[in-house]
Every structure is written in structure tokens, then in C-alpha cells.
Amino acid sequence: MTAAAVSIRNISKTFGKGGTIALQNIELEFQPGEFISLIGPSGCGKSTLLRVIGDLIEPSEGEAIIGGKKAHQARLDRDYGMVFQEATLMDWRTVEKNVSLPLEMMGWDRGARRERVRELLALVELTGFEDHHPWQLSGGMQQRVAIARALTFKPSLILMDEPFGALDEMTRDRLNLELLRIWEATGATVVFVTHSIAEAVFLSSRVVVMSARPGRVQRIVETDLPYPRTNDTREDPRFFELATEVRELLRESHEAREGQ
């Protein structure tokens, strides 16, 4: 049996001494090639969970295992790529140099870097923008550069923290389609944090619905819409059913908390 792409074992995280409980006893397992969304109200710890998987935050309890390795080792081995809400590009580097940044650190030689960057820019449809600076690009284009950067070293896992949260609806829809295409082309596992119910349902094979204070997994919704998904998927009755299911789960958790 192959190892799970991500396995989260009884993780809890408390900030500060006796402070807020961000995560409580989280148990999850993602299979290779899955597209997982984490959704929940603000304060449910979805971003914290993503950072625990990436070993950017130490859990207070439990551990995350990435492809059979401890998260720390997986980070050292550069097993995952990360995309944030802000594109987080380096202003002083051109698009090409931004994308090749991780490769530079992994000691690739110039020719190989060039070659790989060219492939990736073609994949995110930014060929011809190599020499632009980030501030010359639109928000959506910047985010595509960030995605290309996360893919450079062919990680088997991609962690995305609300990558399209700051974009307008139309750009977001387009990038959703593009992301699915990239995901299918690379075969990587994606863990995707979002606020948007439609986005979560449209993209994912499974949606992890979380509740807040303390952050817990409320339910996992299997989205049985067939891939490849297209703009028509958004009009599929099943899409509406699933979105409604997720929406009701979120409302439930909200009302449960209000009722306390």
C-alpha cells in the first residue's frame, strides 16, 4: 500500500499560554492526487492547519506525515510548493527570476533553470512576460506567476492558502479552470484553503468543512462531480446540491456557536 499524501494525526494547536485553541484533535488523511479544500468560518484554523502540514508552524500536539515522512523532513526535501493569498513576488526580480527562485536555491544551473521556467510559464499561459516586473502585471497574472513558482521543482504536494481570495469573481473563475488543468497535468495532491463555497465545490474531490473556536473538522463532503470539470459544471444541479450541503453545514456550526 502506498503512503497517504498527507496524514494528519491528532493535531492540536494552542497559541500562547492558555490562549486560543486554534485546532483541536484533527485527524485527516489525503490520498495522492486528491484535490482537497479546507473551508470554514474565519478563526477555524484552516490556514493554521495548512501551515502545520507545511511545517511552518509547530503543532502543540500530534504530527503531520507527508508521503510517509515527517513534515519537517518533507520541508527539508522540498516535497511541497506553497501559494499564498498575496502573490508574494519579489518586486526586484523579473517574472522569470521569481519563478526560478526555488531552483536557484536547489542549485540548478542556469540553462536548466531557463528551460524549466519556460515550460512553466507556458503552462500558466504567461509566455512572453519573462522580463516583466511583478508590478507590471495584473493581480491574476501575479498569482499565476506564484503558482508557476510553486510548481518549479515538481512537488508532489501543493499547499494553497486562499490563492484567489483577493481577485475579482471573473478572474477567479478563469483561474479555477486553469488550476484544474494544471492539477490534472501534474498529478500533484492539492490542499486548498478557501472562503468560497462555490470555489471549494467546483475544484475539489473532497471538501473538509471546519468549525471555529476550537477549530475542528465538522464533516468531509465528497464532491462526486466528474472531472474534467468545465464552466458547465457550475450549472449542474448536483453542483448546487453539494454547495447547499456545504452551506448548511457551515450555517449549522455557526448557529451552534451562537446558541452557546
Partner 1 sequence: MAVNLLKRLGIFVAVLVGLSALYMGYRQLFLTTGWTWPFKVDEYAMPRLQDIVSRLWKPAATEQPILVQVLVEKALFTAKEAAAGFALGAIVGIAIGVVFHFSNLVRRGFLPYAVGSQTVPILAIAPMVVIWLGGQGLPVWMPVAVISAFLTFFPVAINTLRGLDSTDPRKLELMRSYAASGWSTLWRVKFPCALPYLFSAFKVAATASVVGAIIGELPSSIQDGLGGAILNFAQYYSLDPSALWATNIIAAALGIIFFCIVAVVERLVVRRAPENVA
x/- track of binding to partner 1 for residues 161-200 (CB under 8 A): ----------------------------------------
Q: Which of residues 87-126 bind partner 1 (CB under 8 A)?
A: 88, 90-92, 101-102, 104-105
Q: Nearest approach, Cβ of 156 to partner 1 (angstroms)?
A: 14
> How many degrees, rounded to 5, is the angle at CA 60 between CA 55 and CA 66?
35
**CA-CA-CA-CA torsion sign (153, 30, 219, 21):** negative
Residue 120, classed as helix, strand or coil, is helix
Q: Which of 10, 20, 76, 244 binds partner 1 (CB under 8 A)?
A: 76
Q: Nearest approach, Cβ of 100 to partner 1 (angstroms)?
A: 12
User: What size, in residues, is the chain?
Assistant: 260
Q: Nearest approach, Cβ of 229 to partner 1 (angstroms)?
A: 28
| Stretch of residues binding partner 1 (CB under 8 A), selected from 12-20, 32-40, 128-136, 192-200 | 128-136
Q: If binding is defined by CB under 8 A, does position 82 make contact with partner 1?
A: yes
| Stretch of residues binding partner 1 (CB under 8 A), selected from 78-86, 117-125, 177-185, 209-217 | 78-86
Q: Nearest approach, Cβ of 197 to partner 1 (angstroms)?
A: 25
Q: Which of 107, 111, 135, 228 binds partner 1 (CB under 8 A)?
A: 135
Q: If binding is defined by CB under 8 A, does position 56 make contact with partner 1?
A: yes
Q: Which helix (H) or strand (E) holds 98?
A: helix 95-105
Measured distance CA(83)–CA(147) in Å, rounded: 6
Peptide bond into 59 cis (omega under 30): no
Most distant CA pair in the chain, distance: 61
Peptide bond into 228 cis (omega under 30): yes
Contact present, 193 and 161 (Cβ < 8 Å): yes
Query: What grid cell was written down for 140?
Result: 491574476
Question: Could you tell me which residues come within 8 angstroms of residue 115 by beta carbon, excluding any fewer than 6 positions away?
Answer: none
Q: Nearest approach, Cβ of 123 to partner 1 (angstroms)?
A: 20
Q: Nearest approach, Cβ of 237 to partner 1 (angstroms)?
A: 39
The neighbour count for residue 235, using CB atoms within 10 Å, is 9
Residues that bind partner 1 (CB under 8 A): 51, 54, 56, 75-78, 80-82, 84, 86, 88, 90-92, 101-102, 104-105, 133-135, 159
